């Protein structure tokens, strides 16, 4: 790496020179030693050894000894040199490794600085929270070299930490995992720990750190080797966590952690600033709204409106004030309230204004003086208010020139209204009286009609009975023999007369009931006996039609309360209907005690009744099917009478039926309670 501070001696070159010098010194020392040794040792040897043969031998020994010594010396020197070389080599390698590590670290930190700078740029440029978080994550992945970066935000209801922004490679990681802010197992990972402690949590080896246990499998699938989580505060409280994942272990050293802590802190500061900005905007908007509202209020006032200080300086007024006075806004701003009144009114006005500031409120009627000299009668009300730190008067003036006229009109209207009210009362009273008479008339007409019908039917019964009786006598040939045809005709007369009599009897009953004339006995009676009699009465009818009549009477039936004759009538009617409307099968009668009353059920396997016809059953003169009317005789009054009779006795009748399957009529009568 070139050093800008200037050329420097190459350390390698000086080292080489030094080594060469030492090599030269060693070689020279050796040459000198070897030369001296050879020269002097031979001289010494020649002096002390007498014969030539021994000299030669000793010389050989000396030579060998020399080789041995120098070899030893050589060995020492060379092995020292090798050791040195080896040591040097190791140092060089170590240095290289260190240099590489430092370079990597520098690169990493450099990248983090770049990310931090991108984050800060994003903070400056972004005015919206979630966009800011996204930019931060993008910057950390793009510039900081992280595999994934995300910001999780706590949902205060569920305590879940959900991603608010994600950048980089995740491949469904966040769908596959759950992270919580509280201390359940899913809250014990790096993110949850950082959230609760408010301190960064780093893990340099995902596969070994106990905190990552729950997420390890998913993390390893995505090659997340290290991770770091850094709390983000809003308004001083931890609200979210910035988490980054690296694809190598041991990524997070103190410098990296410091820088990431700084990123998280910058985010917190930016979010706080955004919150403040938002609330400032909101306040401003509220103030603007308030202003618009008060403007709308002042402008929509029917009269003039103004606000001035205790010294009489106008601060606000509505548009109408300018219209009515004829002065422009800038003129009004320079005028005094008293200027708007005729000279003779001014003392009174000054007094009233003083009153407002003393007592809080006052009003006065006075002529308002316009710029063109015209005056209009006005009613003014004033109220003392505190406005922007000053005592002020807020006042309203209403044009009362039309007041007198209006008052007159109002009085006339009131008079008219009073008159109207009086006549109305009379009209209502008259109408009420009319209605009352009409009602009385109607009621008595109804009673009269019923009474008339009752009498008439009674009158009709006598001659009909004679007809039936005399026809019977003629049919018995007591008055002489009859031809076949005569007999046939007379039987028809008798049949029709009987039918008519039935009808009359029914009409009579119904009319009496309606007219309130039917007398019902209220006494204790033996129900079982009445039921038995009714059944026995219709048994021949059933047998004649080939129907079975099943009768079952509970032994504990007891004593009912009511009219035995009418009860008999009801049962007879129901049994007759059952037999009449059944062609095959059976009719059954079942009497038992039920819920403190007696219930008699009469069921048949006959034609049944359609659901839509059930409601018509108990209405007078309603026969359900006109076709049936032709097949089955009847007046259509029976059930109507039965129901009224049962009701009069304090009981009831109900029906259940299925079309073409059969019907069941139930009569309920009160039990005698011994009273
Ligand atoms: P009616 O004298 O014509 O029988 P009711 O009032 O007794 O008059 O009955 C009214 C109508 O109700 C009958 O015409 C018949 O259509 C129907 N109805 C009454 N009882 C039965 C029944 N057991 N099965 C089928 N239809 C019935």
Residue 632 tokens, joined: 């089955």
State if residue 628 touches ligand 1 by the CB under 6 angstroms criterion. yes
pLDDT of 3 reads 45
How far is ligand 1, taken at its centre, from the CA of residue 585, in Å?
Answer: 18
Q: How far apart are CA 583 and CA 632, in angstroms?
A: 11
DSSP conformation class of 592: E
Is residue 599 within 8 A of residue 671, CB to CB? The reply is no
User: In angstroms, how far is the first alpha carbon of the chain from the final one?
Assistant: 127
Residue 508 pairs in a beta bridge with none
pLDDT of 38 reads 83
> What's the whole-number mean pLDDT along residues 262-270?
90
For atom 14 of ligand 1, the residue with the nearest CA is 623
Please give the share of the chain, as a percent, with pLDDT higher than 90. 42
pLDDT at 442 over 90: no
How far is ligand 1, taken at its centre, from the CA of residue 591, in Å?
Answer: 21
State if residue 638 touches ligand 1 by the CB under 6 angstroms criterion. yes
State if residue 509 touches ligand 1 by the CB under 6 angstroms criterion. no
Closest CA to 641 of 538, 459, 514: 514
pLDDT at 23 over 80: yes
pLDDT of 386 reads 87
State if residue 617 touches ligand 1 by the CB under 6 angstroms criterion. yes
Q: How far apart are CA 633 and CA 651, in angstroms?
A: 28
Is residue 629 within 8 A of residue 616, CB to CB? The reply is no
State if residue 663 touches ligand 1 by the CB under 6 angstroms criterion. yes
pTM summary value = 0.42
How far is ligand 1, taken at its centre, from the CA of residue 638, in Å?
Answer: 8
pLDDT band at 333 (very low <50, low <70, confident <90, very high): very high
> What's the whole-number mean pLDDT along residues 395-411?
76
pLDDT band at 4 (very low <50, low <70, confident <90, very high): very low
Sorted by sequence, the CB contacts under 8 Å of residue 18 that are 6+ apart come out as none
Is residue 497 within 8 A of residue 469, CB to CB? The reply is no
- Per-residue pLDDT of 582-592, as tens digits, reads 999 999 999 99
- Per-residue pLDDT of 465-513, as tens digits, reads 888 888 888 888 887 888 888 898 888 888 888 888 887 788 778 877 8
For atom 19 of ligand 1, the residue with the nearest CA is 577
pLDDT of 624 reads 62
Residue 386 tokens, joined: 């505190």
Show the beta-strand stretches assigned E in 59-205.
148-154, 161-168, 201-203
pLDDT at 6 over 60: no
For atom 18 of ligand 1, the residue with the nearest CA is 577
Return phi, psi of residue 538, to 5°.
-90, -10
- Per-residue pLDDT of 31-78, as tens digits, reads 998 888 888 888 888 888 888 888 888 888 888 988 898 899 889 988
User: Given ligand 1 and candidates 617, 620, 641, 662, which is best to mutate, with the most ligand atoms within 8 Å of its CB?
Assistant: 617
How far is ligand 1, taken at its centre, from the CA of residue 510, in Å?
Answer: 16
pLDDT at 626 over 50: no
State if residue 623 touches ligand 1 by the CB under 6 angstroms criterion. yes
pLDDT band at 552 (very low <50, low <70, confident <90, very high): very high
> What's the whole-number mean pLDDT along residues 448-454?
67
State if residue 189 touches ligand 1 by the CB under 6 angstroms criterion. no
- Per-residue pLDDT of 642-664, as tens digits, reads 999 999 999 999 999 999 999 99
Of the two residues 215 and 402, the one the predictor is more confident about is 215
- Per-residue pLDDT of 110-140, as tens digits, reads 888 888 888 888 888 888 888 999 999 999 9
Which of 135-144, 153-162, 448-457 is predicted least confidently?
Answer: 448-457
Show the beta-strand stretches assigned E in 285-359.
304-309, 314-317
pLDDT band at 566 (very low <50, low <70, confident <90, very high): very high
pLDDT band at 328 (very low <50, low <70, confident <90, very high): very high
For atom 21 of ligand 1, the residue with the nearest CA is 577
> What's the whole-number mean pLDDT along residues 256-270?
90
pLDDT band at 629 (very low <50, low <70, confident <90, very high): very low
pLDDT at 404 over 60: no
Q: What is the chain's mean pLDDT, rounded?
A: 86
The distance from CA 553 to its chain's CA centroid, rounded to whole angstroms, is 61
DSSP conformation class of 188: S
How far is ligand 1, taken at its centre, from the CA of residue 564, in Å?
Answer: 23
Closest CA to 227 of 181, 183, 269, 173: 173
pLDDT of 458 reads 67
């Amino acid at each position: 790496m070139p050093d800008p501070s200037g050329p420097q001696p190459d350390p390698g070159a000086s080292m080489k020179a030094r080594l060469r010098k030492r090599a030269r010194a060693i070689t020279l020392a050796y040459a000198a030693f070897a030369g001296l040794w050879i020269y002097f040792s031979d001289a010494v040897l020649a002096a002390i050894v007498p014969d030539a043969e021994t000299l030669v031998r000793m010389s050989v020994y000396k030579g060998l000894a020399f080789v041995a010594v120098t070899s030893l010396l050589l060995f020492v020197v060379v092995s020292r040199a090798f050791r040195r070389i080896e040591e040097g080599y190791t140092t060089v390698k170590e240095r290289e490794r260190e240099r590489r590590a430092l370079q990597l670290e520098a690169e990493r930190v450099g990248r983090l600085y770049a990310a931090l700078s991108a984050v800060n740029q994003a903070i400056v440029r972004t005015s919206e929270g979630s966009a800011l978080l996204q930019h931060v994550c993008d910057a950390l992945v793009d510039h900081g070299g992280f595999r994934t970066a995300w910001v999780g935000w706590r949902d205060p209801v569920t305590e879940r930490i959900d991603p608010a922004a994600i950048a980089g490679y995740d491949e469904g990681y966040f769908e596959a995992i759950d992270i919580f802010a509280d201390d359940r197992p899913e809250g014990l990972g790096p993110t949850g720990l950082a959230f609760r402690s408010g301190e960064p949590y780093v893990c340099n080896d995902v596969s070994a750190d106990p905190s990552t246990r729950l997420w390890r499998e998913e993390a390893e699938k995505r090659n997340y080797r290290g991770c770091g989580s850094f709390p983000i505060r809003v308004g001083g409280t931890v609200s979210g966590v910035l988490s980054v994942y690296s694809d190598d272990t041991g990524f997070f050293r103190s410098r990296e952690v410091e820088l990431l802590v700084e990123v998280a802190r910058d985010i917190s500061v930016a979010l706080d600033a955004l919150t403040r900005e938002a609330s400032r905007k909101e306040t401003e908007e509220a103030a603007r709204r308030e202003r618009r509202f008060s403007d709308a209020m002042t402008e929509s006032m029917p009269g003039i409106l103004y606000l001035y200080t205790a010294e009489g300086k106008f601060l606000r007024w509505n548009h109408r004030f300018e219209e009515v006075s004829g002065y422009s806004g800038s003129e009004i701003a320079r005028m005094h309230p008293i200027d708007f009144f005729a000279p003779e009114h001014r003392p009174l006005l000054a007094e009233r204004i003083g009153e407002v500031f003393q007592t809080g409120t006052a009003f006065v009627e006075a002529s308002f003086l316009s710029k063109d000299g015209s005056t209009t009668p006005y009613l003014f009300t004033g109220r003392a208010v505190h406005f922007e730190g000053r005592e002020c008067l807020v006042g309203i003036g209403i044009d009362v020139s039309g007041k007198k006229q209006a008052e007159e009109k109002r009085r006339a209207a009131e008079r008219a209204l009073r008159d109207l009210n009086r006549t109305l009362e009379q009209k209502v009273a008259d109408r009420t009286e009319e209605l009352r008479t009409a009602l009385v008339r109607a009621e008595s007409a109804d009673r009269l009609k019923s009474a008339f019908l009752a009498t008439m039917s009674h009158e009709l019964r006598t001659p009909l009975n004679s007809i039936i009786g005399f026809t019977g006598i003629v049919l018995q040939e007591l008055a002489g023999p009859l031809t076949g045809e005569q007999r046939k005709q007379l039987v028809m007369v008798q049949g029709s007369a009987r039918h008519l009599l039935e009808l009359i009897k029914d009409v009579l009953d119904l009319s009496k009931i309606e007219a309130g004339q039917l007398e019902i006995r209220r006494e204790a009676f033996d129900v079982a006996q009445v039921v038995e009699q009714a059944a026995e009465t219709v048994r021949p009818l059933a047998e004649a039609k080939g129907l079975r009549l099943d009768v079952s009477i509970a032994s504990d039936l007891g004593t009912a309360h009511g009219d035995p004759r009418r009860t008999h009538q009801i049962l007879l009617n129901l049994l007759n209907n059952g037999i009449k409307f059944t062609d095959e099968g059976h009719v059954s009668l079942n009497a038992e005690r039920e819920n403190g009353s007696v219930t008699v059920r009469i069921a048949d396997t006959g034609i049944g009744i359609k659901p839509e016809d059930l409601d018509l059953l108990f209405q007078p003169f309603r026969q359900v099917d006109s076709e049936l009317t032709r097949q089955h005789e009847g007046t259509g009054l029976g059930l109507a009478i039965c129901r009224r009779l049962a009701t009069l006795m304090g009981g009831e009748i109900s029906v259940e039926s299925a079309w073409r399957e059969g019907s069941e009529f139930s009569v309920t009568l009160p039990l005698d309670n011994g009273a």
